Amino acid sequence: MHTPHLTPLSLVTGASQGIGAATARLLAQRGHALVIHFAHRADLAQAVAQDCLRLGAPHAIIAQADLAHEAEVMALFAAVDKAPFRLSGLVNNAGIVDLTARLDAMSGERLQRMLNVNVLAPMLCAREAIRRMSTRHGGQGGVIVNVSSSAVRSGSPAQYVDYAASKGAIDVFTQGLAREVAAEGVRVSAVRPGITDTGIH
């Protein structure tokens, strides 16, 4: 029996595969209800949701959104609001990396997309999570985890300085936001995975 006010509900972005899928499965084992966000592969997201239910999640649904667009972020959180539990966790995992290239070979379109998906999207998702979790907004607190990267240490020269810079922005954002909402019951942290055996690599 899962009581709605005690069961944690976590939204994991980019959870159809890789680190996001592994994170969702781990949360399921710990009794979290889940909203599994995906951008393109509904079939993979559905498989992760089924895994989560089998592993003990009391609730697991999938939700599609292109997080680079604010309207789609809002629609994603509208789906979160329909869940029978109250949002208490956000894992900002969704992110992209592009082909290895030097900066002088990168298009403006690539740079814009990198920043939209890897910086703007997590900020929009965090904003919506805070509106639901912060005691200032009548929430009961919660946790935001931003997925950064070990690429911030080297800057990834001649590989993808755009990606590394986007994750550097996430690190700074995490520090500031953590202080901004610390007194409102919301904990904000970042993890910096190294090279991980996922589809990206």
32-63 per-residue burial string, b: 16 or more CB within 10 A, e: under 16: bbbbbbbbeeeebbbbbbebbeebebbbbbbb
Q: How many CB atoms sit inside 10 A of residue 151's CB?
A: 22
Does the annotation mark 160 as catalytic? no
Which one of the listed residues 163, 177, 181, 190 is annotated catalytic?
A: 163
d(CA 62, CA 144): 19
Q: What is the pLDDT along the chain (201 residues), one digit of tens a residue?
A: 456 568 999 999 999 999 999 999 999 999 999 999 999 999 999 999 999 999 999 999 999 999 999 999 999 999 999 999 999 999 999 999 999 999 999 999 999 999 999 999 999 999 999 999 999 999 999 999 999 999 999 999 999 999 999 999 999 999 999 999 999 999 999 999 887 655 554
